[in-house]
Amino acid sequence: MAWLEANLYICWLVAGGIFIGTEMLSGTAVIFFLGLGCLAAAAGDLCGFNFDWQLIVFMAASAGSFILLRRKLKNWLNRSDQKVSDNYIGCTVLVVSAISPDAPGKVELNGVVWQAASSGYLLPGQRALISDHRGLLLLVKPVDDKGE
């Protein structure tokens, strides 16, 4: 217990690393700010703050960074996603599972299966054209008989 009290900053750093690492896997732009709060609390421990003040620093840094930086982080995460998906607009895909206006289905593009939605009805085996995207959801429309 004495070691923990003397080295609490290590616990804060480990927790911060776990939160930031989890954010990289989830991409929610929320968990990251808890990691920043942990890093700030670790700095507070190194400055000699007692545990009560470390918790206050953790909460203030987490909430403050969330309020000030979340929109920027989310835009940054979406921008990299959008560049990848924009390359696929206009590509032809193969419908793998049925798609209707009420229920998204799946399409295959370059051997990768993607979730897709459409304003029309598409059956497995049909070809469709990617017209847009919402994040990783592809918006598709049927390819007419001429292949357009």
DSSP the chain: -HHHHHTHHHHHHHHHHHHHHHHHHH--SSHHHHHHHHHHHHHHHHTT--HHHHHHHHHHHHHHHHHHHHHHHHHHHHHHHHHHHHTTTT-EEEEEE-B-SSS-EEEEETTEEEEEE-SS-B-TT-EEEEEEEETTEEEEEE--TT--
pTM: 0.52
Check whether 139 has a pLDDT greater than 70. Answer: yes
pLDDT tens, 78-111?
554 444 557 788 999 999 999 999 999 999 988 8
In this model, does residue 147 exceed pLDDT 80? Answer: no
pLDDT at 81: 44
The CATH-assigned architecture of domain 92-142 is: Beta Barrel (2.40)
Instruction: Show me where the domains of the chain are located.
Output: 2-84, 92-142
